[in-house]
Amino acid sequence: MKCPYCGYIESKVVDSRPTDENETIRRRRECLKCKNRFTTYERIEETPIIVVKRDGNRQIFDKSKMINGIIKSCEKRPVALSDIEAAADNIEKKLQNSLAKEVSSKEIGEYVMEELKNLDKVAYVRFASVYREFKDVQSFLDELEDIIKTKK
């Protein structure tokens, strides 16, 4: 770490402590040449996830958009907001852990359906009906039959 006083590149860490709810680490350093002390902050560099939409457009992943979609599916259903947020956190972790810089909106939709299937079957069907763009009643019924089969 370059000293802000003399420009020397070697220093030693005198004190280190977590800050911002363990999101960053504050380090007090001492320059090995001029002996002046200075503070540095260390944090994880987060790379934004880019969502590739069906039409080919790209945009930065927005967790709040995903949560709003889940909330709409769960409207008037006995699903707690904390459960919705936990589902969104699970999806976000999957996306971060995949290490992919770009992810398709289709993949995110599949993750959402997977989480909704565990939360509430009605909310799952609501989301699937919009997400999968059912063209007719038969495709809707096929999805319902799959749910009934997995329930048994």
Q: Are 29 and 49 a contacting pair, CB within 8 Å?
A: no
**CA gap 32, 11 in Å, rounded:** 5
Average pLDDT over residues 44-50: 83
pLDDT at 133 over 70: no
Q: Phi and psi dihedrals of 44, rounded to 5?
A: -70, 135
Nearest to 121 by CA among 94, 86, 148, 99: 148
pLDDT at 152 over 60: no
Handedness of CA 102, 106, 109, 114 (dihedral sign): negative
pLDDT of 136 = 67
**CA gap 113, 72 in Å, rounded:** 13
pLDDT of 149 = 77
Strand order in the sheet with 102-104: 58-60, 50-52, 102-104
Q: Would you place residue 51 in the very low, low, confident or very high pLDDT band (cuts 50, 70, 90)?
A: very high
pLDDT of 128 = 81
Q: Would you place residue 60 in the very low, low, confident or very high pLDDT band (cuts 50, 70, 90)?
A: very high
Q: Would you place residue 126 in the very low, low, confident or very high pLDDT band (cuts 50, 70, 90)?
A: confident
**CA gap 90, 140 in Å, rounded:** 27
109, containing H or E segment: helix 105-119
3-state helix, strand, coil in the chain (%, to 5): 45, 20, 35
Q: Considering the entire predicted model, what is its pTM? A: 0.64
pLDDT above 90 coverage of the chain, percent: 63
Q: Would you place residue 73 in the very low, low, confident or very high pLDDT band (cuts 50, 70, 90)?
A: very high
Neighbours of 14 (CB within 10 A): 11
pLDDT at 94 over 60: yes
Instruction: Give the contacts of 43 (CB within 8 A, at least 6 positions apart).
Output: 23, 24, 25
